[in-house]
Structure 1
Amino acid sequence: MADPSIALQAAMFARLEAEVSCPVFDGAPMDSPMPYISFDREISTNTSPIAGRKREQRLIYLSVWSNALGQAEVKRINGEIIAALNERPLPLEVGRAVSVRVEQADAQRDADGVTYQGSITVRVITTH
């Protein structure tokens, strides 16, 4: 069976677009108005047993970008992402998402001193 990575990102993207109050990008254009969410990185670790279905643990890193004053907007959007993804079934076109859990969320001022960034780490266990 094919790797579920692309199907997983498509399902997460669709869920976030439907349930979060700002645009979602995989590669935001440089002139995108804020706030928005971007898919930044995915790390996949093989956790397959000796015998049986192929299983992987995936860490997916999302960023929230805001130019609003203070962290409130980033924290609100982080909360929307958590509500959309944490411990909720996520049907995939390829493979199966056995577990979807938000592992970490944070909000901080960017190095430019003006922009705020939120970071969300989502752990997904997939089988195929």
Structure 2
Amino acid sequence: MSDLGLALQKAIYEKLSASLSAPVFDDVPDDTPFPYVTLDYEAVDNTTPISGKRRENRLFYLSIWSDYQGQAEVKRINGEIVDALDEVALPLATGTAVSVRVIRTETNREPDGKTYMGSVTLRIITQH
């Protein structure tokens, strides 16, 4: 059976691109102005029962980058991501996203003292 990772990434990208006030990238072009969101990485655990459809528990990580003074912009975009994806049906080209849930949001100042980073962790259960 095929991996649902690409179908899931495409669905997340499309949903966020239509919902956020900041652009979304898998690969950020040089000289892209802040703020923006990146699709960072995904971890997959096979949770298939002994018999039945293939089922996977996925953790999908997003990052938010901002040079706005303070954390307000990062927190606002984190909230937009929560509104767009938490407990929302996410149609996939193949397979099914059984559950999409935001399980963690974070903000922090980067070591340069000027850039702020936010992160959002999604837990997605897929089945195919």
| Dislocated runs of 4+, deviation >6 Å | none
* Residues 3, 95 of structure 1: 8 Å contact kept: no
Q: Matched residues in 1 for 2:29 and 2:108: separation?
A: 22
Q: Matched residues in 1 for 2:45 and 2:100: separation?
A: 15
The aligned counterpart of 2:79 is 79
- Aligned length, in residue pairs: 128
Which structure is higher in RCO with an 8 Å CA cutoff and minimum separation 6?
1
Cα deviation for residue 91 of structure 1 reads: 0.5
The aligned counterpart of 2:60 is 60
Q: Matched residues in 1 for 2:124 and 2:116: separation?
A: 26
The aligned counterpart of 2:114 is 114
1:99 counterpart = 2:94? no
TM-score where L is the length of structure 2 = 0.98
- Post-superposition Cα deviations, 1:52-107, rounded to whole Å, max 9, x if no partner, equal 00000000000000000000000000000000000000000011000000000011
Q: Matched residues in 1 for 2:31 and 2:56: separation?
A: 36
The aligned counterpart of 1:123 is 123
Q: Which amino acid aligns with 1:32?
A: T
Cα deviation for residue 30 of structure 1 reads: 3.0
Give the gaps of 5 or more residues in structure 1: none
Root-mean-square deviation (Å): 0.7
Q: Percent identity?
A: 55
Cα deviation for residue 108 of structure 1 reads: 0.7
